[in-house]
Amino acid sequence: MDRKELLSHVDHTQLKAFASWEDIDTLCKEAIEYGTASVCVPPSYIKRIHETYGDQINICTVVGFPLGYSCTAAKVEEVKQAIADGASEIDMVINIAEVKNGNISYVTDEIRALKQAAGDHILKVIIETCYLTEAEKIAMCKAVTEAGGDYIKTSTGFGTGGATMEDILLFKSHIGSQVKMKAAGGVKSVEDMEAFIQAGCDRIGTSSAVSFIKGEGTKGY
C-alpha cells in the first residue's frame, strides 16, 4: 500500500489534555501536507482550526470523551456545538457503565440520539473494547447498527488497551453492511496500519502515522 493511500485512512490525532495550539497547528499542517482523512482534536480547538484552515482540512472531534458517562442530553449538546463550530465528524464514547449494567437499549437510544443531532455528519461510536466481554462487544455491534452509527471504533486510546485484530474480525462478523470500522489505540507501526486496513478498517486513529511514514517512530496515542 503506498503512502498516499495509507494516510488517506488516518484520523491524525492529538487529544492530550495539555495539547497547546502549537501542537494542534502542527497536526493540521501535517494533515494538509500528507493528505490524512481528518484531524481528530479536542472540541475547544474546532473553531480556531476552522477559522485558520477553512475547507483545507476535515475536522473530527470527540464527544463524551474519554469515559463516556456524561448524560445523553449533554452529549447531544456537545455534538450540536461541535458541528456549529466547524466539525464534520464526531467520535462519541458510549456509556460503558450501562453496557456493564446490561442496559443495551439505553446505549442504543443514546447512539440514535447523537446520530440524529449529527445529521449528515459522520458519527463514529467508540465502544472501548478493553472493558467489554465478547458478548458485550457483539451487543455493541448490533446497537451501532440498529441506531444508525456510521462507524464502530475500538478505543479512545486512553483505556487499558487499544485496537486488536481479534476485535476487528469480531466486528466484521457482527456489524451491519452500512457500518464501517475504525481501529484506534495501540497502532504501533506502518505494518499495523496496513494490517487493520486490509482487515476491513476504513479509518485508523493515531497520532503517530506521519512519524511512522517519516521513520521517526511512535509519539504515543
Look at residue 40 and tell me if it is in a domain: yes
Name which of 220, 168, 173, 170 is nearest 197 in CA terms: 168
Indicate which CATH number applies to the domain containing 197. 3.20.20.70
pLDDT of residue 215: 82
Look at residue 220 and tell me if it is in a domain: no
- Please give the grid coordinates belonging to residue 31: 494533515
- What residues are labeled active site? 91, 153, 182
The residue type found at 150 is D
pLDDT of residue 217: 56
Look at residue 219 and tell me if it is in a domain: no
- Please give the grid coordinates belonging to residue 167: 476485535
Look at residue 221 and tell me if it is in a domain: no
> For the chain, give me the number of helices (H) and strands (E)?
10, 8
Look at residue 121 and tell me if it is in a domain: yes
Look at residue 165 and tell me if it is in a domain: yes
Task: Count how many domains the chain has.
Answer: 1
pLDDT of residue 216: 62
Residue stretches of the chain with pLDDT short of 70 = 216-221
Q: In the chain, helix, strand, coil percent, each to 5?
A: 50, 15, 35
pLDDT of residue 219: 45
Look at residue 134 and tell me if it is in a domain: yes
pLDDT of residue 32: 97
DSSP secondary structure of 102-167: T-HHHHHHHHHHHHHHHTTSEEEEE--GGG--HHHHHHHHHHHHHHT-SEEE---SSSS----HHH
Which residues form the domain of 143? 3-214
Classified as helix, coil or strand, 89 is strand
Look at residue 84 and tell me if it is in a domain: yes
